[in-house]
Amino acid sequence: MECLFFIFKWVIMMGAWGTGVFEDDTACDLLYEAMEADAKSFIVRAIDHKNLDYLDYDQCYEVIISAVILDSILNGTKYKHEINGYEEWLTQQNQASIEIFRTEIVSDLKVVLSDKSELKKLWSENKDDYLTWKAEIENIIVGLSSGVDKLL
């Protein structure tokens, strides 16, 4: 019973129902927010977190969603989602204006996987899914680092 309570508490606290990038309420909300403007504006906001000592939950997801947007636009990577209008919005973004952020976002993703991240702390408490979540983020890093097309 205690184990079930912990899992319930973890899901409620995080708003996550799986390890996928878009299997989290915050991630979906932030993507909708990004789609209200342009990709560059959203990515610049995430990069501004680089000087913080610690990234909170939302800041971690701002970095992750920025990385997913970059990876989708620059590499054509397809992520499993149920966000209406996302694919069309991606086609309307200026690839040249965001290419310059690739290296910074990769560095920021590494912070998300470090002890300077609330999201990493929360996921590391889930022994069953932590490695899967971590691998998802590492795959984004690899894609942005190499520019290789892939399907997640």
More confident residue, 138 or 80: 138
Of 93-102, 124-133, 139-148, the range with the lowest mean pLDDT is 139-148
The pLDDT value recorded for residue 27 is 85
C-alpha to C-alpha distance for 74 and 92, rounded to whole angstroms: 13
More confident residue, 41 or 86: 41
Q: Count of domains in the chain? A: 1
pLDDT tens figures, 4-39:
334 434 444 457 766 677 678 888 789 999 999 999
In angstroms, what is the C-alpha Rg of the chain? Answer: 15
C-alpha to C-alpha distance for 66 and 83, rounded to whole angstroms: 15
More confident residue, 91 or 148: 91
3-class DSSP assignment, residue 151 = strand
C-alpha to C-alpha distance for 103 and 63, rounded to whole angstroms: 12
* Any domain includes 152: no
Is a pLDDT exceeding 90 seen at residue 97?
yes
Write down how long the chain is: 152
Output the CA–CA distances (angstroms, integers) from residue 27 to 15, 71, 97, in the order listed: 9, 15, 23
Compute CA 94 distance to the chain's CA centroid, rounded to the nearest angstrom.
Answer: 20
CB 45 within 8 A of CB 122: no
Is a pLDDT exceeding 60 seen at residue 75?
yes
What's the average model confidence in pLDDT over 39-63?
95
* Any domain includes 122: yes
The pLDDT value recorded for residue 22 is 66
* Any domain includes 80: yes
Domain that holds residue 137: 2-146
Q: Residue type at 21?
A: V
The pLDDT value recorded for residue 104 is 96
